[in-house]
Amino acid sequence: MTIFIDIVPVVSIIAGLLVLLAPKLLRYVVGGYLLLVGIIGLVQ
């Protein structure tokens, strides 16, 4: 049995948890999230 998970929601959840745990990292988390979503969008 294979389970397919879309990567964008997983990245969103991880980014949200990082922002909640360390608010000072907000700009880095947002920047990293935007880069990942952009790269994933180009690859798919």
Kindly state whether residue 14 falls inside one of the protein's structural domains. Answer: yes
Kindly state whether residue 29 falls inside one of the protein's structural domains. Answer: yes
Kindly state whether residue 22 falls inside one of the protein's structural domains. Answer: yes
pLDDT at 3: 58
Dump pLDDT digits (tens) for 12-30.
888 888 888 888 888 888 8
- In the predicted model, is pLDDT for residue 10 greater than 70? yes
40, 9 Cβ separation under 8 angstroms: no
Kindly state whether residue 1 falls inside one of the protein's structural domains. Answer: no
- Rg, Å, the chain Cα set: 12
How many alpha carbons fall within 13 Å on the CB side of residue 5?
Answer: 7
15, 34 Cβ separation under 8 angstroms: no
pLDDT at 2: 58
